[in-house]
Amino acid sequence: PGPLSPAYIASDVPPVSVAAVVSAFRKGLGRPVRLAAVPASLMRMAAVALGKRAFWESMTATQICDPSLLVSQGWLPETATLDRLSEIAARSRQAQPG
C-alpha cells in the first residue's frame, strides 16, 4: 500500500457539545431546554449499574473533529450547525399531523 491520503473533515469551529445539539433540537421543537448538569461520576456509576458501561464510554469519549485541512482549501460551513439543527427540528414538528 502507498502513503495514506489526508482526511478532509467538515466540522464546526469551535466544536459543538452534545448538550448544545440537544438544546438546539429542543428549541426547534418549541420545547424548553431543561438540561441539568449532573456530575459525570454519578452518571458513570448509574451506567455501570445498568450494564451500559460501553455506551457511557462511547458518549463521553473525546470526539473533536479538526476541519483545518478542509478550511485551508477554502471551505467554510454554509450555515451555523446549531441554527440548522433548530430549523430541522422545527420543520419536523410542522410536518407532523395534529
Please compute the mean of the pLDDT values over residues 62-70 and round it to a whole number: 84
Return the pLDDT at 88: 94
Tens digit of each residue's pLDDT (9 = 90 or more) over 85-97 = 999 999 998 887 7
> What is the reported pLDDT for 63?
75
Per-residue pLDDT band at 28 (split at 50, 70, 90): very high
Side-chain-side CA neighbours of residue 64 (13 Å): 6
Q: Taking a C-beta distance cutoff of 8 angstroms, is the pair 29, 90 a contact?
A: yes
Per-residue cell: 46: 448509574
